[in-house]
Amino acid sequence: MYRGDGYEFVELRAYVPGDDVRRIDWAATARAATLQSRVVLEDVALTLASVIDGSPSMRVGRRRPLSAAAAEAVATWYGAALPDDRCIDVRAGTITPASLQRSRHAVAAGASEPAASFECVRTLETAFSALPRGTALLAIGDWFDLPSEGDALLQRLGARFDCTALVARDPWFEELPLRGLVRLRGAEGGFVRTYIGRRERQAYARAVREREVQLLERFTRANWRTGPLYEADGARSLREAFGLVARETLA
């Protein structure tokens, strides 16, 4: 609930220019000899929305796809909704004003159809235009396609909505289990042959940690609640972002 034109009384306070004159308490004003306003709570429906990266890079993992962890986080997200809350599921980067009406009261948290790519900037811009102010927005992805110039968009979203971002942790964050001459295939690219030794494994470990830290910092600076998406437990990932459980530390 928000403070506004409702019926549940909260408190009396001094009148501030711009207050609704209908909320002036004249009895309290007479006692205090200064204008006093009644503050009340306004009942409004909370809008929950989610933006989920459905691209091939989210279908990789050591024991299961990152998309499975994302589905757990989404189920936890919408599981917090009350019967009158409006929920919007934005799968694989598609959201339109018409979808806001179709998904008014409930959202299935099952697996979505994979997308060929995730155009995160266009998806977030559409969310900014289509969703009502104050929406609780959950965005999950690996954010490989988030350009540096996207920070201004993140800040606009962070100012308009209650935003939470989960950054998919690299499946080989702990260790790259490859040695010698190997043939690699990118989740969204072609094949490459390369040699991987101790130096390469150490460089990879540094790179994935630095990338995750930088992404989390970008979202935090833009007024987003954020945290990693762990392959093993998407529900815990979401609770951790909200500070409900202790955050894992980088090794």
Read off the pLDDT of each residue in 93-119 and give the average, rounded to a whole number: 44
Q: Please list, residue by residue across 101-118, b when 16 or more beta carbons sit within 10 angstroms of its beta carbon and e when fewer do.
A: eebeeebebeebeebeeb
Assess whether pLDDT exceeds 70 at residue 94: no
Q: What is the DSSP letter of 23?
A: G
DSSP helix/strand/coil, 118: coil
Read off the pLDDT of each residue in 172-200 and give the average, rounded to a whole number: 72
Q: Which residue type is seen at 231? A: E
- Taking each helix axis as running N to C, give the angle between helix 120-130 and helix 151-160, from 0 to 180 degrees, rounded to the nearest 10: 30
How many angstroms separate the first and last alpha carbons of the chain? 41
- CA neighbor of 3 nearest in space, from 23, 17, 21: 23
- Reported as a single tens digit per residue, the pLDDT across 30-55 is 999 999 998 876 666 678 889 999 88
Assess whether pLDDT exceeds 80 at residue 60: yes
* Cα–Cα distance for residue pair 137/4, rounded to 1 Å: 22
55 vs 241, higher pLDDT: 241
pLDDT band of 103, cuts 50, 70, 90 = very low
pTM for the whole structure: 0.71
Read off the pLDDT of each residue in 199-224 and give the average, rounded to a whole number: 92
